[in-house]
Amino acid sequence: MTARGVFYVHSAPPALSPHIEWAAAGVLGVPVSLEWADQPAAPGTLRAELHWEGKPGTAAGITSALRNWKLARFECTEDPTPGCDGVRYSFTPSLGVFTGVIGANGDIMIPEDRLRSVMAGAALGKTTLEAELDRLLGTPWDNELEPFRRAGDGAPVRWLHAAV
C-alpha cells in the first residue's frame, strides 16, 4: 500500500538544509534534493516543499527524524489510506510537535478519550476547557506557522517516490 503526503519546511537556517535532506532521505529510502528558497517571514532562513509517496507512517518517520532540531519549523502531512486515517504533524521550536488526525473533509478529529481528559482537567480547575480545546485543535501551532505558510504561496512543487 502506498501513502502520499507533503513535507513543508517552513523555515530553517541554510546550514541545516543538507541535514534535513539527509534525514528525509533516510526515511524515504531514496536521495532527497529539495529546492530551497528564501523565507520572507524569517529573513536569513530558507523554506522548501516536497510531495512524497511511500509506505504508511512516512509522515511520522520524517517528523521523528526532525523533532529534536530546534532551529526548524515544519509540517508533514499524510493522506488517508485504507485502514489508516490522514494525519498532520506540525513542529515549531517553541511548541514542539503537534499531531492531528485528519478526517476526509480536512477537519482535525479528536478522539473521545482526549476530550474526556480535558473535560476532567477543566472540571478540576487545572485549566480552561477553551484553552485545552485550542491545544487539541493545534491552534497555537497554526498561529505560529501561519505567517510562514502564507510566505510560501506560489512555491514550486516536486514529487518524490520512495523506494518500496
Give the model confidence (pLDDT) of 145-155 as tens digits.
999 998 755 55
Determine the pLDDT at residue 152: 58
Q: In one letter, which amino acid is 110?
A: I
Domain that holds residue 51: 3-110+147-151
**Residues 57/12, Cβ–Cβ less than 8 Å:** no
- The tally of domains found in the chain comes to 1
In tens, the pLDDT along 38-88 reads 999 999 999 999 999 999 999 999 999 999 989 999 999 999 988 888 999
User: What pLDDT does residue 153 have?
Assistant: 56
Alpha-carbon separation of residue 151 from 10, 38, 42, 133 (angstroms)? 9, 10, 9, 27
Contacts of 49 (CB under 8 A, 6+ apart): 6, 7, 8, 9, 34, 152, 155, 156, 157, 158
Per-residue pLDDT at 31: 94
User: Rounded mean pLDDT of the chain?
Assistant: 91
CA 135 to chain centre: 15
70 assigned to some structural domain: yes
The verdict on residue 118 lying in a domain is no
In a domain, residue 129? The reply is no
pLDDT at 159 over 50: no
